[in-house]
Amino acid sequence: MMDRLELLYYRPLVAAVSEAEHGMTVRRVLERQLGVSRKLLSQVKQTEHGLTVNEIRAYTTAPVAAGDIIRVRMEREISEDILPQPIPVQIVFEDEDLLIVNKPAGMIVHPTHGHYTGTLANGIVYHWQEAREKVRFRPVHRLDEETSGLVAIAKTSYVHQQLSEQMQANGILKLYRAYVYGCPEPAVGTVDAPIDRDPDQPHVRIVTPEGYPSITHYETIAHYDSTSDKPAAAAVRLKLETGRTHQIRVHMKHIGCPLIGDKMYGTQQGVEEEWEDAVGRQALHAEILGFTHPITKKWMEWRADLPPELERLERSLSK
């Protein structure tokens, strides 16, 4: 029976009822111990083995006794709308619950209208297919097409829910490296400036008093002095407190330090062609990612080295 369950369901979430929880409902215990959402419970209770107490099918409102073992089993799913493609994927970490990858610049995370192939999702779905894993593609967050770096993908709806809640509570560490024109003043600071769509160009974001709250913390980590024929530049480490579309790019432009190579938000005045050619895209990299693993409850942290084009840019800036 267990082999059959393993084929149909992901590894179960398990909760042992404590003395203090004696007499509580199944739902209450699962909310207390595992933070299981009501949406997930409403899904799993529809299947024969989705929700059990001592391996007997149970209702969410059923009372439990101390020592009872509650199991939540989610049905295995696949992304039927994503075409598997043999696209190289740089895997940084993977277990039964999570996949962390280092996305290259020039790649979209998820298929969009008119762009159904060549995405990170296509490559990951192929990777799981080759590994004979039945998993649905659930990115926890995304990066712009021209931004490189770390992306987290949840393998189950529960893990996705837990990481989304961590993100909303500002519990996920995301540090970015950017190379910008000019030097931020002060060298360490916070940009607190609301962002919304540009009414004249809906695909572009702008700082506007009517926008959504947006906060970016930054620290200048290297300064490249200007000369008579070159503008000053800097390497900046950034931490997002909110996650608006294009937030770093918009905020850096807002303080007069647009990203090198950013065609949408960069400035044409004082552009150094050597630097633009060295990077060939916006100079932004998701360098560090950290969060509490939803299953083991341990803090985990990953780092992605600079890609070759940003190393070239750094060498060019240092000349």
- Give per-residue pLDDT as tens, 192-249: 999 999 999 999 999 999 999 999 999 999 999 766 555 689 999 999 988 899 999 9
Of 15, 39, 72, which closes a domain?
72
Please tell me the number of Cα atoms within 13 Å of 288 on its side-chain side: 11
- pLDDT score at 67: 97
- pLDDT score at 257: 94
Question: Is the pLDDT at 108 greater than 70, yes or no?
Answer: yes
- The residue written with tokens 């940084």 in the block is 92
Let me know how long the chain is: 319
Cα 207 to Cα 196: distance, rounded to the nearest angstrom: 7
Task: Tell me, yes or no, whether 118 lies in a domain.
Answer: yes
- pLDDT score at 279: 87
Q: Say yes or no: 103 and 222 in one domain.
A: no
Please, which pLDDT band fits residue 295 given cuts at 50, 70 and 90? very high
Q: Say yes or no: 187 and 308 in one domain.
A: yes
Q: Are 195 and 188 in contact (CB under 8 A)?
A: no
Cα 83 to Cα 108: distance, rounded to the nearest angstrom: 14
Question: Is the pLDDT at 94 greater than 90, yes or no?
Answer: yes
Question: Is the pLDDT at 265 greater than 60, yes or no?
Answer: yes
Question: Is the pLDDT at 269 greater than 70, yes or no?
Answer: no
Residue 265 is given by DSSP the state: T
Q: What is the pTM for the complete model shown?
A: 0.91
Domain of residue 183: give its range: 173-318
Q: Say yes or no: 136 and 272 in one domain.
A: no
Average pLDDT, the chain: 92
Q: Picking from 35-39, 80-84, 315-319, which range would have the lowest pLDDT averaged per residue?
A: 315-319
Q: Picking from 30-39, 221-230, 258-267, which range would have the lowest pLDDT averaged per residue?
A: 221-230
Q: Say yes or no: 9 and 36 in one domain.
A: yes
Task: Tell me, yes or no, whether 80 lies in a domain.
Answer: no
Q: Are 203 and 191 in contact (CB under 8 A)?
A: no
89 to 45, 86, 100, 174, 303: CA distances (angstroms): 35, 9, 10, 20, 16
Q: How does strand 148-154 pair with strand 284-292?
A: parallel
59 to 41, 72, 157: CA distances (angstroms): 10, 11, 20
More confident residue, 188 or 277: 188
**Residue 268: helix, strand or coil by DSSP?**
coil
**Residue 254: helix, strand or coil by DSSP?**
helix
Q: Say yes or no: 100 and 145 in one domain.
A: yes
- pLDDT score at 318: 85
Candidates 68, 97, 144, 262; catalytic one: 144
Query: CATH number for the domain including 156?
Result: 3.30.2350.10
DSSP class per residue in 109-175: SS-BTTB-SSSHHHHHHHHHHHTT-----EESS---TT-EEEEEEESSHHHHHHHHHHHHTT-SEEE
Concerning whether 81 is annotated as a catalytic residue, the answer is no
Query: CATH number for the domain including 28?
Result: 3.10.290.10
Q: Say yes or no: 96 and 20 in one domain.
A: no
- pLDDT score at 98: 97
Task: Tell me, yes or no, whether 11 lies in a domain.
Answer: yes
- pLDDT score at 268: 55
Task: Tell me, yes or no, whether 225 lies in a domain.
Answer: yes
Q: Say yes or no: 215 and 279 in one domain.
A: yes
Q: What percentage of the chain reaches a pLDDT higher than 90?
A: 82
Task: Tell me, yes or no, whether 236 lies in a domain.
Answer: yes
Categorise residue 18: left if φ over 0, alpha if ψ from -120 to 50, beta otherwise. Answer: beta
Task: Tell me, yes or no, whether 94 lies in a domain.
Answer: yes
Q: Say yes or no: 116 and 61 in one domain.
A: no
Task: Tell me, yes or no, whether 79 lies in a domain.
Answer: no
291 to 156, 168, 188: CA distances (angstroms): 17, 12, 24
pLDDT (tens digit per residue) in 49-63: 999 999 999 999 999
The count of structural domains within the chain is 3
Residue 258 is given by DSSP the state: P
- pLDDT score at 5: 81
- pLDDT score at 278: 81
